[in-house]
Structure formats: C-alpha cells, structure tokens
Chain A
Amino acid sequence: MAYSKKVIEKFENTLNNPSAFHVGRLDPKAKNVGTGMVGAPACGDVMRLQIEVDKNNKISNCKFKTYGCGSAIASSQQMIEMLVGKTLKEAKKIKDRDIAEILELPAIKIHCSVLAEDSIKKAIADYESKKA
C-alpha cells in the first residue's frame, strides 16, 4: 500500500509513543465523557473514540483505540488532534474529507476517514444523551 509520508509518520509515532498520541481510554460511565465506537472486527476495523467535555462545552481531553489498518490508526489519531480544544459545535463540522486530505489517503482508504467522522458523531451523541 503506497501511503503518504504523513500516514506513515502518524502511524509510527502512535505506535512508538501511544500515551503522547492520545491512545487510551476514559471512563465511559463518566457524565462528561462521550464514547463512539464504530466498525466491526469482521470488516477489519473498529474505532473507539472518547471525548471529555468541560463546563464551556469544549473538548478538553480525547482518547482513542483503533483496530484496523495503518490508515485507520492514522485517521483516528488525526481526528483526535483536530478535536482537542474545540467546542462540540466546531467538532461536528469536521468532515471525513478534511482528514482524507490532510493525510493524503489513497482512494481505496477513504472509508478510514469516514469511520473517524462517524466515531466522533457517535461520541458527541453519546455525551449529549447523558446530558439530556
């Protein structure tokens, strides 16, 4: 698979220094945490993205774990990087194509960025359902 340098760099950084690159988990039961898990093992990718939201409705912390190919791992990490410090409203505006563009994903790997967008949508929905 001919990946861009960015995908490879992101993948390797995440692999070699997981805690510095937001790998981990937050307590899914906490009131201020939203969890989004998408994908299926049979399809070859599962992404779990978690956000911690502060009083100002800003994302103060993010954690993820991803089972999948190199570009799925790079896409989740890229998504997380774009989320920290954003309000929920701003976070909802991040699109799969933004990630695909930044990482220069090959056409066959676009679904990895779609997965990242789906997971943040689900995480926000989970958080909002707890508030409701």
Chain B
Amino acid sequence: MQGNQFYFDYASTTPVDPRVAKRMIEFMSVDGHFGNPGSRSHSFGWKADEAVEKARMQVATLVGADPREIVWTSGATESDNLAIKGAAKFYESKGKHIITSKIEHKAVLDPCRQLEREGFEVTYIDPDETGVVSLEMLKKYIRNDTILISLMHINNELGSVNDIEKIGAYTRKKGIIFHVDAAQSTGKLDIDLANLNVDLMSFSAHKTYGPKGVGALYVCRKPRIRLEALIHGGGQERGFRAGTLPTHQIVGMGEAFDLAKHEMQEDNKKITKLSRLFWNEVSEIDEIYLNGDMKNKVPNIINISFAYIEGESLIMGLKDVAVSSGSACTSASLEPSYVLRALGRADELAHSSIRFSFGRFTTEEEVKEVAKTTKRVVAQLRELSPLWDMFLDGVDLEKVEWAPH
C-alpha cells in the first residue's frame, strides 16, 4: 500500500525487494564495484565480472539450468525476440514454419508478425476456453517444415498454465525447437530445465521483485541450440548479445531469483490463501465470470469479467486500487483484450474484465478492503447501467437491435 493506494497489479510489475535494491547499489558508484565486467585488465573489471557470474549462477539455479545456458538481455521482450527471430533465422534452411498461440504476449506475437513479413509462415493457434494450448491441439498444426514452436508457460492476463513438460517431450522427439516465455513463472511455479525438453526460455527480472530493464534467455546446450544474434558489438555473452553488461541490473536479477528460490514456497502459500479469500468474497457478486480455470492457473492472478459494466469505469470507480483491465477503453487502440476474445468470450465480457494480481507484499487487510470496494463499486455501476436494467427485466441482450456508432 502506498498512501491510500492498493497495488493489485503484480502481474504487470513488482516492486524491487528492498534486499535486492540494497545489493544493486553496491555496483554503481565510485565507492562500489562499478567496473565494466568486460574489463579483463584490472580488479574493477574482475570484481564486476565476479558479481555477474554469481548472478548467472543464481538465475540458473532457480530454473535448473547450467549457468553457461543463461544469456543476459534487457528483459523478456528482448529474450523473446532473440529466441524467435534468432532461431528462425539460424534454422531457416530447415523450414520456414512457426507455431504459436493467439494469446501470447505481444513480445512473441510481434516478432512472429515481423518474420511473416520476411517470408516465414506462422500459425496462430486458438487456445481452449480456459486459455490453454495442449499438445493435442499443437499436433494438428505441426508440419514437416515446422522449425519452431513458441508458447508461454503462464498467461499474463489469465494465469493459465500450459503443460510445457508434455509438449517439450514431443517437440524434442520431432526435432522442433521449443521456446517458452516464462516471464510470469519465476517464483510462482517450479521450473527444472535439466528435466524439461525446452530449448529456449525467456525470463524477466521485474516480475519477480527484481529491477526493470534486465532479463535472460536460457539457451539449451544439450542439444545445442544456435541463434543468429540481433545485436552485434563487443562479442559479450558469447556473441548471442553484444553490449556492456549492466552489472547492477544483473546483480539485482540474480539476487531476486535467489530470494525466489528460497522464499517461493512461503510466498505461494500466502498468495494462495489471499487469492482464495479474495475469490470467496468477490464471487458473491452476481453475473461474474472467472476468466481461466481455477484448477489450472496460478493463484496470484484472478481475472474476472463483471457483466453489464465496463472495465474502465470499474477501474475509475476503484480509484484507490491499481489493477489492469481488458477493456478497450484502457488501451490506446480501443480494442478489447485479444486474449479474452481468443478464448471465445463475447466482446462485452472482454470490455468488462479486470485482472487482480497479488504478490509478496499483499496483505490480508488489503485483500479484504479491495474485495469490499469491488462489491460496492460493481453494485454502483450496475445501478447506472441500462444493460443491468434490461437483464433484470429479462431482456435477451443478444436479440436487441443495437445502434453501434
């Protein structure tokens, strides 16, 4: 809580854990280890390099990887770009077909669109109505020239979870590269890359109490996955990604992932409890829909459509609560959430959706207060809604002749 503001948007970003911030400061100024980790000729460089390699180990440890498989990037967006464009370009002689899903993050969809412009063919699969893409669904679209499949582990709007273990086992057998965007996963679900057949995995620091502006890409060594670099320069990161390494950012990510390793269980226990409490309270409201499947999603994300009211007005009504909406009115494009539409939700339910997401610093009092406020504001907005009137009168909204403008 900040002033009277409740932060319920952890899936968007998390605050940096104070323990992480404290470590980061040690790598910036003249009395700290500010050296360039690439400087091989003096102790300033060595100290910085040591810190970078420690962080690499911390990140690798959380996800069960070898530190040599971790490439630093500026964030999950860059990791996704490097994985998708880098693999597509390197392996294009084997084929030019890529599969992904319609509910991926834009950081996956936009590189795919770019590859289409460059002559690749991309299949965008519809998920099921809970936001999941299964192996069976994928199999229908796999072709001889499919070189790459990119799927997210946890969906950022719904919290739905894909079975990457099962999918990976199949793609590995088929020799198709499997990229997983795991920006939402670290500290929420166990990831053991040593036992997963995933070839490329994207990570972000700032979704896991680390700083913004840093991320990592896991590049599998066995089998060895090759990529064409996007950024060329000083040959850092074994040529995968040039540019002076931002020591303090990397140290922050390492520290944050180390905390996640040790505190994940406790965090999740608490968040699961808060999530249940919130849903128990809010589900007393009539005519609401949980987007996603309670049985197959992470507890930190709860996405609800409140029928007959519009999401942006709900956000305005919940003025002391920071949340996200799938409403068109909160986006620059005036389009409602493409994720909810891909689930087959009617546009009006996409317009009326709110994503509540909880985290390490959320308290029970906050959850109770926000649930209470949500109940009040939903009732107030329905009082204002002609659609709610019509619903109470038993009018079938599907049969009304609307006057779209």
Contact = CB atoms under 8 A, between A and B. Distances in A.
Whether A and B are associated in the same complex: the answer reads yes
A102 interface: no
A118 B17 CA distance: 51
Contact of A45 (B310, B332, B380, B389): B310
Contact of B308 (A12, A44, A67, A114): A67
Contacts of B330: 1
B311 to A, nearest CB: 8
Contacts of A66: 384-386
A65 B386 contact: yes
B317 A67 contact: no
A65 B389 contact: yes
Given A41-B348, A44-B310, A67-B310, A73 B329 contact: no
Given A1-B330, A41-B397, A115-B405, A67 B316 contact: no
Interface residues of B, number: 34
Interface stretch (A13-21, A81-89, A123-131): A13-21
B253 to A, nearest CB: 32
Interface in B283-335: 308-310, 312-313, 316-317, 319, 327-330, 332, 334
B385 A69 contact: no
B3 interface: no
Contact of B313 (A16, A25, A38, A69): A69
B265 to A, nearest CB: 39
Contacts of B308: 67
B402 A41 contact: yes
A3 to B, nearest CB: 8
A23 interface: yes
Contacts, number: 103
A95 interface: no
Interface centre among A16, A41, A122 (most CB of B within 10 A): A41
A19 to B, nearest CB: 9
Interface in A29-51: 37-48
Contacts of A94: none
| Of B309, B377, B403, most A-chain CB atoms within 10 Å | B403
Contacts of B388: 67
Contacts of A26: none
B312 A43 contact: no
Contacts of B313: 11, 68-70, 72-73
Contacts of A37: 386, 403
B336 interface: yes
B165 to A, nearest CB: 38
B319 to A, nearest CB: 8
B381 interface: yes
A111 interface: yes
Contact of B312 (A1, A18, A115): A1
A108 interface: yes
Interface string B381-405: 1011111110000000100001111
B351 interface: yes
Contact of A67 (B319, B346, B377, B385): B385
Contact of B384 (A14, A41, A111): A14
Given A68-B313, A70-B312, A40 B384 contact: no
A25 B389 contact: yes
B380 A67 contact: no
A78 to B, nearest CB: 14
B72 to A, nearest CB: 35
Contacts of A15: 317, 377, 380-381, 384
B66 interface: no
A48 B383 CA distance: 13
Contacts of B404: 39-40, 42-43
Contacts of B309: 67
Nearest to B330: A1
A71 to B, nearest CB: 8
Closest 3 CB pairs of A and B: A40-B402, A69-B329, A41-B348
Given A41-B351, A65-B389, 11 more contacts: A16-B380, A37-B403, A40-B404, A42-B346, A42-B348, A42-B404, A45-B310, A46-B386, A46-B402, A67-B310, A70-B316
15 contacts: A1-B329, A3-B316, A15-B317, A15-B384, A25-B389, A41-B387, A41-B397, A42-B346, A48-B389, A65-B389, A69-B310, A73-B384, A108-B332, A115-B405, A118-B403
